[in-house]
Every structure is written in structure tokens, then in C-alpha cells.
Chain A
Amino acid sequence: MPELTYREAVRDALATAMRDDADVFLMGEDIAEMGGSMGVTHGLVDEFGPERVRNTPISEMAIVGAGIGAAMQGMRPVVEIMYEDFLTLSTEQIVNQAAKHRYMSGGQLKVPLTIRTQGGAGWSPGAQHAQQLEAWFVHIPGLKVVFPSTPSDVRGMLWSAIYDDNPVIVFEHRLLYPVKEEVPEKLEPIPFGKARTHREGEDVTVIATGPMVHRSLEAAEEAERNGISVEVIDPRSLQPLDEDAIVESVKKTNRAVVTHEAITRMGFGAEVASVIQYQAFDWLDAPIERVGAKFAPLAFAPVMEQFLVPGPEDVLQGIYRTVGRNGD
């Protein structure tokens, strides 16, 4: 099995889809010759030409709006929003248009649009280039939202996003691009709504998304050395959500830590905690712990950034709290 980086896995999914299907094309800021600001689409313009790998003006509203129009006309566009912070500029198109047309047309219109974007802290990008805004979009009926954390996941899920007849937002993370993983020889679609269990355990379930999956696995190793067996689950798709997998795991371990890099308050983890408390109430042996960023704009200063954003140690402390340890 070939080993790909997360960045290469995204590129491979895009290229494979474009080779297979003339309806698939890309739009975004500087995605052609420059290969996108993160280098994800590097080289694709050489293979597929500027008609299918299209640079756009700096207008996120226009990018998404044009994508919606093309999708409704039968194309399968994949648009890139350079930083998810800039989704704010295209929110009207995403929330009021893309998410609504299928419903408001009684199913006569479909919007098979894929919106790729990335963000995340850990490299001092400051308050306007590192937010984690997935929760905003999970809140909107009519959208699907995925947040793959590994190369094989992003490859298979991006494929599923392209071939889904509904608008899908694919959240990528800046720090995940160099992460490597063996991926299947032939691209296999990964259906939405199926969580992935990265590690089985008996004492605590950690439900983690994006980069927190890797940080949680680190924390789980450390906890294991201290005699606590940790299960790590990545829902991968936030909407739809694999509630069964989460609930089943918590029923087994009786304790849960929910973690994401996004700010804790009103974050996606609140919804997961709610699902757990409702469906597994009688199985809970400790309050559900939540680990996320502190409620503050992200700081430029690396030490302050590190202070605000959760790391493996924060997950570990959460794990310890669920089992009633002080964690020292």
C-alpha cells in the first residue's frame, strides 16, 4: 500500500475524480500555477489545464456562488476557501443558498458542491487565520460537514463529498498536511456517518476530531502507561454523525472526553456530550469532560497560542478527571 501525506491524499482524490469524470472541476484563489496557499493543488493545472483548475478573484462569495450555480447545472465543482476564517465572507451563499435549494425546490434542484477549506492553530497564524469554525456549519440543515484527520480518511471522504448530491464542507487542518499514512492502492470511498476507532480501550472514550485525534492518541499512550485504557474515536463526519458508535463505546467504557481544537464553548463537542448524556445516561460513571480551546481570540505569540489551544496534556488531564485522578 502506498504511503501518502495528507496533502498528497487530497490531491490524489481530486486528480482521480477529475480523470474519471469531466464534470469535476476546481475553483479557488491561486490554486492553479501556485498550487494553492498550502500547495495542495500543486501540479493539477499542468494535467487538467486552466479550464478545470480555475483561479478566481479574491471574492469568497463569488467563488461559492459560482460553484452553487455550476452544481445546480449538473457539474460537480470543488471550490477551495483558502482559510476557513474566510468562510464568513461566503456564508450567505453557503447557508442561505447552497443549504436551501434542494429543500425549497421540493427536490427538483440538487447542489453537489464540495467546499474545501483549512485552518487551525499551531504555527502562529494569528486571530484571523486559525479559527476552527466547523460548529457554525453543523448547525445548518442541508449541509454536510466532514473533518477527516488522516490521509486515507481525507482521500476517501473527499471522494464521497464530490459524489454527494448535497453541499459538503470538507475541513482540513494546516498541521495535518504533512501527516503520513498508508492508503489503499485503489481509492475507496468512505461513507459519511461512520466513525473510525483509532484505538480500543476499556476505561475512557475520547471522541476527537481533526488534529485532536493525534493529540488524543498521544495522551492515550501516556494514560496507558499509568494504567488507564483509553479508546479513541474520530467521528470523521460531523454531519451526519455516527451517534451509535459513540454511544456504544461510552456504554462500554462508562466515561467520555470530547475534544476538538475549536473553542470549547458552544463547540461541536457540546452536541456530542449531549448525545452521550441522553443516550448513555445510565452508563455514565463520571461527568463528560470537554477539552477545547479557551474562550479567546487566538494569539500570535507562540506561548500564548499554546496556552489557548488544547494539546495532548489537556486531553490527558481530561482523561484523568473522568477516572477521578488528579493527573500528576
Chain B
Amino acid sequence: MATEIKLPRLGQGMESGTIVKWLKNEGEPVKKGEPLYELDTDKVTQEVESDASGVLLKIAVQEGEVPVGQTVAVIGEQGEEVSLSVEQPTDGGAPASAEKPAEAPEREPERERGREASARAEADASDTKPQAATDGRIKASPLARRIARERGIDLAQLRGTGPEGRIVAEDVERAEAAAPAAEAAPAPVAAGEVEVLPLTSIRKTIARRLTEAWTVPVFQLTIDVDMERAVALREQLVARAGDGAKPTLSDVLTKVCASALMRHRALNAHFSEEGIQRFPTANVGIAVAAPQGLVVPVIKNAESLTIQQIANARADVVGRARDNKLRTEDLSGGTFTISNLGMFGVQQFVAVLNPPQAAILAIGSVEERPAVRDGEIVPRPLMTVTLTCDHRTVDGADGARFLEDVKAFLEEPGLAL
């Protein structure tokens, strides 16, 4: 009996994924648990393991975006007949429907004429998938094709909203309106020099999440911290690291923030329409500039880890982020985020909130700056940190008290115990 392999839901809120590459060919034997294909979700690219053993009889979707629950392949016994007659979900755009088993949607009887046959032939009539994903043939109306041809728009980049995912004129016009700059860019830059990078899943996610963040009412609080003792602490830890990863100042900050978050639960929170969720553990996200774009792996339960343990966990996750080998679980569950640009010499900056988290801390560089101590101007190793808070969740005084503790713990690490 052949098994249909459906696109799994790999994380909360995942509605679709983009198949990047198959790791097995049709006709090859596959064991349950073996990596079957590479999937690009809005968070990571990862290998998806086979749920069944047998022979990969049919790859239904070679590459491209697929809604959760859609059949992507069939595994069965050698020589077994494969019929992908089961209709694929056609309304995969709605999150609710993604959970449904792939039941045959009822067709209007009036549409029988010819329509059904062609829809079945393509067996992937999802109106959520970019047309590039279909096996070479892009469904588009003649008018849409003409407009695209005349205006130099690539239909493969568009998503069809017409019946059965067909690209109609409106889709082409909308795409053109969405990219007026490219279209209208006047001559000073020769067209050949403009490099257009297609939006990857991760880039789209960054765009969507940060645009979303922009709608949140935020405020910022800035404080200077004397880092003499924290730097000394870090040096002691490095000396003791042994085979472990060398702790960095970021690791010290992770620990300090986790301790402060346990004392200021208002900041260890998510905002949602249902209510503010306050979390019992500090899962601290660390913004990492990976080659494919910004990712925020999460150090879970940072409040109960030693700085050395944090360093080890951080080294592992950051290493994998750089190698594009993160798993969905590495990125989920964050309750607070730290973004450190100090290593680039940035003195101070404002981070954009990472919703639904209530706060994010932006870390500047540690540098010798003049400070007044006992009426004297003296050089001190100072660091400026800026806390961005979601004002729907956190009030100014909550944020200030948190920062006060962060400062105290860094200046006198013993207080964090």
C-alpha cells in the first residue's frame, strides 16, 4: 500500500514551505527517518525525513512552495501503481484548511467541461503556490501573458488568484504596482547593473515580521554601564573554559539578562490579543547575522544555565546558523532578544522589536570613555545599551527597573546570583 508523503507542519504558524531540493530520486529506496528533501520554511532550511519506508515512487512537487498537508511524494513498493487521484487541497491559503486531510473539494458541476481534466492533470491546483512551482507550465490567462510580455514581468514570480491558481491580468498589474521603482527607475543606472535578488523565504519573513513590528507602539530606554568587572569576569571564564566554547561578553549579557528577566517578568512576555503571556523561563534569542540573513536562535532556560553552558549552546546554534543548518526548534520559543553590534564599534543603536516579544536589548561596544568618578573625569570602559519595549505590554518604569538591574548585575556580577 503506497503512502502519500504530505508536507508536515514543522512549527506553530507554519502554513507552507518551499521545497528546495529532493535528496532521493524517483525509484530509489527510502528508509523511514532518512532525509528525503530539503525544505525552506519562513524560518530555516532543513532536511525533512521520510515518514515511510519503501521506494520513492513519485515526486509530486519537484520544487516550490507547498501548503502544509499537501502530498509531495508517494512511497510504496517497487512496481506499485501510483495514482495521485486524491485532490490536493485547493484552498491551502487559509491556515485552518491546512490541517484538513486532503479531501476532494467539490466541483461545481457547471465547470465540468474540460476544466476538470486539466485541473486533474496538474494535480496541484493550489492557488497559494507561486506558479514557478508547477512543472514548467504556468497557468495564466492570455491577457495576463500579454501584459506580462509587454511590461517585462516574469510570470513565474507571480501568484495566481484566478480559478485554480490561474494568473489573471489583475495579478500582473498588482505585481507591477508593487514594484514601481524597478519599473519606473529612470536611466541614470544602466539596467544591466541593477542586481535583482529574488526574495527568499527568510527575507520575506524578515520583511513581514519587521513591518509588523513597526505597527507596535514602542519606547526606548538607554543606559550606560561600567563594564570593568564584567570584562574581568569574562576573562576569568575564558581562562577556565577548557574544551568548552570561549565565553563572550554576549554570553555574559545573556546570563545577566536572563537573571534580570526572572526578577522582572513583565519584560519576559508576549503580547497577544487574548492577553499578555508571561513566561516562567528566560528563553533568550540572540540576533545572528547569518549569510542568508538575520536569524535569531534561542538559548532556552538561560536563567538556569551557567555562562559556560550558555557559551556552548550559543556556539553550537550560531555555528549552525552560519551553515544554514538550523532547525525550527532552534528558532522558536524566544521570550526576549539581545542584539549586539558592539563588535563592529557601534556605540549605540535602537533595535526593532521582535514581536510578539515585549522587549529587545540593543548592545553597543565597550570602549574607554570619559566618566566622572568622585568629582574627577576618568576613563572608564563604558557600554551603552538601549532597551526597546512594546508599550502595550510594558510600561516605562518596568523597563527602567529591568535596565537598572542589568546595569547593577554587570557592574557587580555577584548581585546576579
What residues make up the interface of A, taking CB atoms closer than 8 Å to B?
A: 254, 281-287, 290, 314, 317-318, 321, 324, 326
Contact = CB atoms under 8 A, between A and B. Distances in A.
Given A286-B168, A324-B162, A324-B168, A281 B142 contact: yes
A219 to B, nearest CB: 14
Interface in B151-183: 161-163, 166, 168-170
A286 B169 CA distance: 9
Interface string B372-386: 000000000000000
A285 B141 CA distance: 5
Contacts of B113: 290
A321 B169 contact: no
A254 B113 CA distance: 20
A87 B169 CA distance: 45
B145 interface: yes
Given A284-B141, A321-B110, A254 B163 contact: no
Interface residues of B, number: 18
Contacts of B204: none
A283 B111 contact: no
Contacts of A284: 141-143
A282 B142 contact: yes
5 contacts: A281-B142, A284-B142, A314-B110, A317-B108, A324-B161
A321 B107 CA distance: 12
Across the A-B interface, the 9 shortest Cβ-Cβ residue pairs: A285-B143, A282-B146, A285-B141, A285-B169, A324-B162, A284-B142, A285-B168, A281-B142, A324-B163
Given A254-B169, A285-B170, A317-B110, 12 more contacts: A254-B143, A282-B143, A284-B142, A285-B141, A285-B142, A285-B143, A285-B168, A285-B169, A286-B168, A318-B110, A324-B162, A324-B166
Nearest to B144: A285
Contacts of A283: 142-143, 146
A28 B137 CA distance: 59
Contacts of A318: 110
A290 B114 CA distance: 12
Contacts of A326: 108
A57 to B, nearest CB: 44
Given A254-B169, A324-B161, A324-B168, A286 B111 contact: no
A317 B110 CA distance: 9
A318 B143 CA distance: 19
Nearest to A277: B142
Interface in B264-322: none
Interface in B105-124: 108, 110-111, 113, 115
A276 B142 CA distance: 12
B94 to A, nearest CB: 14
A321 B163 contact: yes
B162 A286 contact: yes
Nearest to A287: B115
Contacts of A286: 141, 162-163, 166, 168
Contacts of B170: 285
Contacts of B115: 287
Contacts of A324: 161-163, 166, 168
A282 B142 CA distance: 5
Contacts of A285: 141-144, 162, 168-170
A282 B143 CA distance: 5
Q: Which one of B143, B166, B168 has the greatest number of beta carbons of chain A within 10 Å? A: B143
A321 B141 contact: no
Contacts of B161: 324
Contacts of B141: 284-286
Nearest to B115: A287
A37 B239 CA distance: 113
Contacts of B142: 281-285
A317 to B, nearest CB: 6
A254 B162 CA distance: 14
Contacts of A282: 142-143, 145-146
A282 B110 CA distance: 25
Contacts of B168: 285-286, 324
A302 to B, nearest CB: 21
A283 B147 CA distance: 9
Nearest to A284: B142
B106 to A, nearest CB: 11
Interface string B78-115: 00000000000000000000000000000010110101
B109 to A, nearest CB: 10
Nearest to B168: A285
B5 to A, nearest CB: 31
Nearest to A318: B110
A32 to B, nearest CB: 46
Nearest to B140: A285
Contacts of B146: 282-283
A251 B141 CA distance: 13
Interface in B246-265: none
B335 to A, nearest CB: 43
